[in-house]
Amino acid sequence: MRPVELIMKKRDGGTFTEAEIGFLVEGFSRGEIPDYQFSALLMAIVLKGMSPEETALLTRAMIRSGEVIDLSGVPGPLVDKHSTGGVGDKISLVLAPLAAACGLRVPMMSGRSLGHTGGTLDKLEAIPGFRTDLPRERFVQALEQVGFAMIGQSEAVVPADRKMYALRDVTGTVESIPLITASIMSKKFAEGAEALVFDVKCGSGAFMKSIADARALAGSLVRTGTGLGRKVVAVLSDMDQPLGRKVGNFLEVEETIDCLRGRGPRDVMDLTHRLVAWMLVAGGVCPGVAEGEQLSRARLADGSAWKLFLKSVQFQGGDVECILDPARGPRAPVVRPLPSPADGAVRRIDAYRIGLASVVLGAGRSRKEDAVFPGVGLSLLRTQSEPVRRGEPLALVHGQSEAAVGQALALCAQAFEIGPEAPGPGARVLEEMGSP
């Protein structure tokens, strides 16, 4: 086989065989197919697409490019959740201990922020001392002793995805549902989960802006995972407005603490309980989502999830005293309010502009090599449907410098829509589909 022939085949709308996909992935992973040829292949895939069968074969080939974590000795059920990314999305930090408290083992391999969406690893590493680079043996021990672990992708796990994503990022080939599906599913299969729940975000603060695109990605994830022998559920959730009231790394850790101690924002907790419920159904712990939600709420109320979160922080090297007293955590030196321009109520907060403001402040990255500041971000003092008077603060902006705070304030001013009346807060869960 020759790469150029396969590029032309896909360019002309052809369908790849298993052998052809294996040849392409293995050749690129080993450096035998150069970037310029693989870039052409990726663009052909973006333009011509891939069938569900091709997507599953691509996922398998990417998994085979590296190591698969063997969790066969860990008592299950092993169930993970993955979000496609959003603004203020600290769900994983709340969900993992809560799901573990309900009887699941949660092997969670997470990512870092890129663009306007936050990253779970950056939030965890905002806790002083917290390590997300656990060796495999320690990862397995965390699952056995704590019930969950949150780590980053190692060099040995799905190296094909790491190389492909870096190339997609600079060649305008990120927006392809088959490529996104294979990227996500290969990492999740390699981490050892038996069942998966996907939180597919939709709206201005998500990568999928329309419900049609989010539905297409959710369907692809469910079909591919089911075809590869896993139980998979996809929950489509609204990301037109930020989740919760805090955006930024340690600020979101603070809100996680509030959530686990029973005083978190309703939108964050409602979505968390729904996702945990589906995890419990997919793992065979509960017969339906109603029973799953009931169990999730019970484990939050009795403090079980909070205790497991503290145990996890200690196990992964974090400063537990900083969690018990968040005032000891990272703080930005400059904090400025955003005053309301008028009397009225908050009609909408544009998640995308809030996400961009967080990047300007240094809570996120424009490029993968950018550093992040743990203490910066935004505290939303008013959210959708809440009343406000002219001059009252809508938000607090936390930054490293007056210049960065000034830029963020300008973006936040564009994000808030104030009117005489406002609709009630909309439901976060838009649709659900799955295979349990």
Q: How far apart are CA 33 and CA 208, in angstroms?
A: 31
**Cα radius of gyration rounded to whole Å, the chain:** 22
Interatomic CA distance for residues 247 and 262, integer angstroms: 19
CA distances from 365 to 13, 304, 374 (A): 36, 34, 12
Alpha carbon distance 72, 91 (integer Å): 27
* Cis? peptide before 77, omega within 30° of 0: yes
CB 357 within 8 A of CB 378: yes
CA distance 342 to 274: 36
Q: What are phi and psi of 78, to 5 degrees?
A: -95, 110
Distances (CA, A) of 135 to 109, 140, 271, 316: 13, 9, 31, 11
Q: Which residue's structure tokens are 């990512």?
A: 111
Q: Is 20 helix (H, G, I), strand (E, B) or coil?
A: helix
- Catalytic residue ranges: 82, 161, 168, 183, 187
Q: What is the 3-state secondary structure (H, E, C) of 193-233?
A: CCEEEEEEEECCCCCCCCHHHHHHHHHHHHHHHHHCCCEEE
Could you tell me the maximum CA-CA distance found in the chain, to the nearest angstrom? 69
Strand 377-380, strand 393-399: pairing: antiparallel
Can you tell me the distance from the alpha carbon of 89 to that of 242, in angstroms, rounded to the nearest whole number?
A: 8
